[in-house]
Amino acid sequence: MPSERENTILVVDVGRTSYDACWEMQRELVELRASGRVPDLLLLTEHPHVYTIGKTGNEKHLRVRRSELERDGIPVVHTDRGGDITYHGPGQLVGYPILDLHCILPDLDRYLRGLEEIIMRALDRFSLRGSRMEGYTGVWVGEEKICAIGIKTTRWITMHGFALNVTTDLSYFAKIIPCGISDRGVTSMERRLGRPVRMSDVASVVGNEFVSYFGYRKAEGGMSALLQLLEGVGIRRAGLSGEQSQFHGEYEVTV
């Protein structure tokens, strides 16, 4: 359920980013959010081809040799989110909320259900019926998964998030057992609608639904506002500095 408290959030389309660079960006922003130097943030991005394996993931769910993927320039990254193996690539909208859950929703299960609800509301705007599936986290259309969710929290500050298949080339999922689920398929908005979908349209709708659901007031400025915030705390290009942040009291959520 959304919080009744109105907070400010900055929704930023950071464009296409490498997975590693965006992961480092998140780590830096989590530290800044924990110290109150930046507001809550929703980063929207699109990654080049990459397979990521969560803390509870199993590399046996990779159906091809890593050498084959490396030959094609596709990395396999062990990451610190909850969940198993998944694919990110062009045509997929990835959202990374950097939120202080103390301020809006200090309940991890309700937060996860909230992310699902936001995606379902966004899909409804495109005349697609999304749903939950008992025993699993994420959003489904029929028997096929359209949005994967995997998060991490550090002192109640969130990172990682959701990956919504918009115009994704679904053939890349054939190289893995997505999320470790072998008896269900994956789909995309484009496949279900039978027509092209503009990523910018989906990003706009998802951003607006996120703001509405959690009862935020949306800050203006986007990327320029984020860069100004970062320059104000001495970071010129978050995620690209190469410096490692130090964390304490971390835990992962398996989804």
Q: How far apart are CA 221 and CA 212, in angstroms?
A: 18
* Residues 139 and 131 sit within 8 Å (Cβ to Cβ): yes
Phi and psi for 70 in degrees, rounded to 5? Answer: -60, -35
179 counts as catalytic: yes
Helices and strands (H and E) in the chain: how many: 7, 12
8 Å CB contact between 188 and 170: yes
Q: Which ranges constitute the DSSP H helices of 35-107?
A: 66-71, 101-104
Out of 22, 103, 147, 179, the active site residue is 179
Q: Residue-wise over 80-99: b if at least 16 C-beta within 10 A, else e?
A: bbbbbbbbbbebbbbbbbbb
Tell me the backbone φ, ψ of residue 29, rounded to 5 degrees.
Answer: -70, -35
Q: How many residues does the chain have?
A: 255
* Residues taking part in catalysis: 179
